[in-house]
Structure 1
Amino acid sequence: MANAHIDHHLALLNHLRTILVALGEAEQILDDSHAMFIERYDELLADLPNAPDSSLYLGQDLISQIFQRYPQIAHLIPRDLLWFFGGDCLHYMPDEEIAMYQLLDERRFQAEEDGEPFDWNQEKQLLAMPTQGGTH
């Protein structure tokens, strides 16, 4: 996988980590397993740049656990992470959103194949724009 693509998702994971840590600091977590969860999360952050393919399962597991363990922050999980890790994470995405991410990935792969730069966020914004000719 391209470094820029991994770096983008690492930045999102780091942002999500700050939210998770803040939950613990605010004492909104009632059990002691939160610290162990953060340790596993840190393993993902350390392993992802070096072994992205083998880190996907751990990422799927952790993101799915966030929905289950911390439903109060489920709306703060970046949608890009759901698509990136795939698998069970896709259950939290509607079909229309999955279709948009499939198209986004196709554009990214085509740009890589053509040796062209690809701006994930810009392309995502373009895909999310309403199509011309809609009713007002």
Structure 2
Amino acid sequence: MANAYLDHHLALLAHLRGILVALGEAEQVPEENHALFVERFDDLMNELPRDPESSLYLGQDLISQVFHRYPQIAHLVPRDLLWFFGGDCLHFMPDEEIELFQRLDERRYEAEQNDEPFDWNQEKRLLALPQDGSKH
């Protein structure tokens, strides 16, 4: 797994962790269970750089749990994380969004094969532009 790609998703996980911590500090959730969940989240963030492939299942589980345990912040979960972890996380994405991320992943793979630089966020913005050529 390419470092820039992994680093991008680690940054998104850190952002989501900050939201989870703030939720606990605002006393919006039961503290005991929440602290254990954040601890598991930390485990994921520590393990992911060491063993990305094995960490995917834990990531799928934790991201899916965010939607079930904390529905009030579901809209704040970065969509990239749903695609990155895949599996059950894809149930939280509409088909159009899955298609966008598939195209994005194909472009990333092609750039890697050609030893070309790839900016995930820039490419995502380009793919999200309207395809009909109209300028508004």
In structure 2, the residue matched to 1:3 is: 3
* TM-score normalised per structure 2: 0.97
In structure 1, the residue matched to 2:35 is: 35
Report the number of matched residues.
136
In structure 2, the residue matched to 1:13 is: 13
In structure 2, the residue matched to 1:57 is: 57
CA distance in 2, matches of 1:117, 1:27: 44
CA distance in 1, matches of 2:66, 2:52: 20
* TM-score normalised per structure 1: 0.97
**Quick check: 2:24–2:31 contact (8 Å CA) kept in 1?**
no
Provide the aligned C-alpha RMSD in A: 1.3
Structure 1 residue 135: deviation in Å?
Answer: 9.7
Structure 1 residue 32: deviation in Å?
Answer: 1.5
Where does the alignment leave 5 or more consecutive residues of structure 2 unmatched? none
**Which has the larger displacement, 22-31 or 97-106?**
22-31
Structure 1 residue 50: deviation in Å?
Answer: 1.0
Higher RCO (CA 8 Å, separation ≥ 6 residues) = 1
